[in-house]
Chains A and B, each alone.
Chain A
Amino acid sequence: MEKNLEDIFQDKIDREIRIEPKDWMPEKYRQTLIRQISQHAHSEIVGMLPEGNWITRAPSLRRKSILLAKVQDEAGHGLYLYSAAETLGITRDEMYEQLHSGRAKYSSIFNYPTLSWADMGAIGWLVDGAAIMNQVPLCRASFGPYARAMVRVCKEESFHQRQGFEILLTLSRGNEAQKNMAQDALNRWWWPSIMMFGPTDDESPNTIQSMRWKIKRFTNDELRQKFVDICADQVKILGLTLPDKDLTWNETRGHYDFGPINWDEFWQVVSGNGPCNRDRLNARKKAWEDGAWVREAASAYAEKKKSEQKVA
């Protein structure tokens, strides 16, 4: 019987029929999605922190309004994704608990510090650019609520990347110090950004199953290569360089070759030893704990109003 259900399920996937929350699904499919969607949600929420750092110091009112809107979008994206994960049977509080206890991961890119204003440009262009590259295929993910959330996210995300590129473009056309600031930001953000696509295909054992279930549509290395190709061209418009001396166009492959990625660094950051891991988690925990009285007060107020209505 079990086998039969699994065949029916895979057949639906193969025919591009979306899976909805109440449909039968293999337990591993459910668990894979819960892990992936909640990590994605956590990344949006933690991802507000490095940029929040610069809201009060944005160089103009225009830039401040834009950055505020972007950070607000990220809060929204986190909420879309948490809701999508909840349809699979995990509660919001369970997900928060997993984040706060360190059991759940989030994108390791957010464990790097934002040292200058140019970092807002580099994050928009590179970090959001890499995120979009990952997210666009997820709009066709086999699980309906996830795909629908991603459609919404992708629609909103494209201004994030454009505003980042515009920041870098402005700096690159500025004075020497501004240009150096932009270059310095690229030097620090480039490698962590291309690590965002995750381990290489031969180190990524779950990819095959995720592709069979049509959660993933492309492998990590495919997406990474696409991203490198696009950035290697766009950086020329900025008149800046990417910090990789091996970055060269390969005529036979039709792609840019790039240098070796420092996977030691990647795994160090993933396992909690990046420059800001502790700060980020502490900030989230503090926000959760400091907000406890607000949550309780709102619940108490709602209860009180309900009982008043019953009396009246």
Chain B
Amino acid sequence: MNKEWPLWEIFIRSRQGLDHKHVGSLHAADAQMAIENARDVYTRRMEGVSIWVVESKHIHASNPTEAGELYDPANDKAYRHPTFYDLPDEVKHM
């Protein structure tokens, strides 16, 4: 059996002005083929105006089992949200 083509993660910008969003993955021999295949697999109904492809092995991810420690610094900082502040009703549009 031959070596598998590498796996690529596909990101699509659905409309000009929006950011690229992860839509899935596919196998391709190189970046050019990954873009062409992504066109056929993920934009058959005009879902995109721009495609990014990244070889999956280059994606580094946080570890879900460490999610607690990783995100807990934000837990006790409610003052980062505008609703934390009590202002008199006379103050409008702030």
Q: 1/0 per position for A213-226, CB-CB distance to B under 8 A?
A: 00000000000000
The residues of A that contact B80 with a CB separation of less than 8 Å are none
Judging by beta carbons under 8 Å apart, are A86 and B25 in contact? yes
Interface flag for B76 (CB, 8 Å): no
The residues of A that contact B40 with a CB separation of less than 8 Å are 72, 76
8 A Cβ contacts from A113-161 to B? 148-149, 152, 156
- Alpha-carbon distance A9/B45, docked complex (angstroms): 37
Judging by beta carbons under 8 Å apart, are A22 and B2 in contact? no
The residues of B that contact A299 with a CB separation of less than 8 Å are 2-3, 5, 29
Q: 1/0 per position for A52-81, CB-CB distance to B under 8 A?
A: 000000000000000001001100100110
Judging by beta carbons under 8 Å apart, are B30 and A76 in contact? no
8 A Cβ contacts from B1-56 to A? 1-5, 7, 24-27, 29-30, 33, 40-41, 44-45
Judging by beta carbons under 8 Å apart, are B29 and A302 in contact? yes
- Alpha-carbon distance A97/B4, docked complex (angstroms): 13
Nearest Cβ distance between residue B32 and chain A, in whole angstroms? 9
Judging by beta carbons under 8 Å apart, are A79 and B26 in contact? yes
- Alpha-carbon distance A298/B64, docked complex (angstroms): 36
Nearest Cβ distance between residue A86 and chain B, in whole angstroms? 7
Total contacts A to B, CB within 8 angstroms? Answer: 52
User: Quick one: which of A73, A92, A305 contacts B4, CB cutoff 8 A?
Assistant: A92
Interface flag for A295 (CB, 8 Å): yes
Judging by beta carbons under 8 Å apart, are A92 and B3 in contact? no
The prevalent SS among residues of A at the interface is: helix
- Alpha-carbon distance A80/B7, docked complex (angstroms): 13
The residues of B that contact A298 with a CB separation of less than 8 Å are 5, 29-30, 33
- Alpha-carbon distance A299/B2, docked complex (angstroms): 10
User: Quick one: which of A156, A302, A305 contacts B45, CB cutoff 8 A?
Assistant: A156
Do A22 and B61 form a contact, CB below 8 Å, given A76-B41, A86-B7, A299-B3? yes
Judging by beta carbons under 8 Å apart, are A83 and B2 in contact? no
Judging by beta carbons under 8 Å apart, are B30 and A296 in contact? no
Judging by beta carbons under 8 Å apart, are B27 and A92 in contact? yes
- Tier of interface size on chain B: 20 to 34
- Alpha-carbon distance A7/B44, docked complex (angstroms): 42
- Alpha-carbon distance A48/B74, docked complex (angstroms): 50
Do A79 and B41 form a contact, CB below 8 Å, given A22-B64, A86-B7? yes
Nearest Cβ distance between residue B59 and chain A, in whole angstroms? 11
Judging by beta carbons under 8 Å apart, are B30 and A301 in contact? yes
Q: From B4, which residue of chain A is reached at the shortest CB distance? A: A93
- Alpha-carbon distance A302/B4, docked complex (angstroms): 13
Q: From B23, which residue of chain A is reached at the shortest CB distance? A: A152
Interface flag for B63 (CB, 8 Å): yes
Interface flag for A20 (CB, 8 Å): yes
Interface flag for A23 (CB, 8 Å): yes
The residues of B that contact A156 with a CB separation of less than 8 Å are 44-45
Query: Could you write out 26 A-B pairs with CB less than 8 Å apart?
Result: A20-B64, A22-B64, A23-B64, A69-B44, A72-B40, A72-B44, A73-B44, A76-B40, A76-B41, A83-B24, A83-B25, A86-B7, A91-B4, A92-B4, A93-B1, A93-B4, A97-B1, A148-B24, A156-B44, A156-B45, A295-B2, A298-B5, A298-B29, A298-B33, A299-B5, A302-B33
Which A-B residue pairs are the 8 nearest by beta carbons? Answer: A298-B29, A302-B30, A302-B29, A83-B25, A23-B64, A22-B64, A76-B41, A299-B29
Known: A72-B40, A149-B24. 11 other contacts (CB 8 A): A23-B64, A76-B40, A83-B24, A83-B26, A93-B1, A97-B1, A148-B24, A156-B45, A292-B2, A295-B29, A299-B2
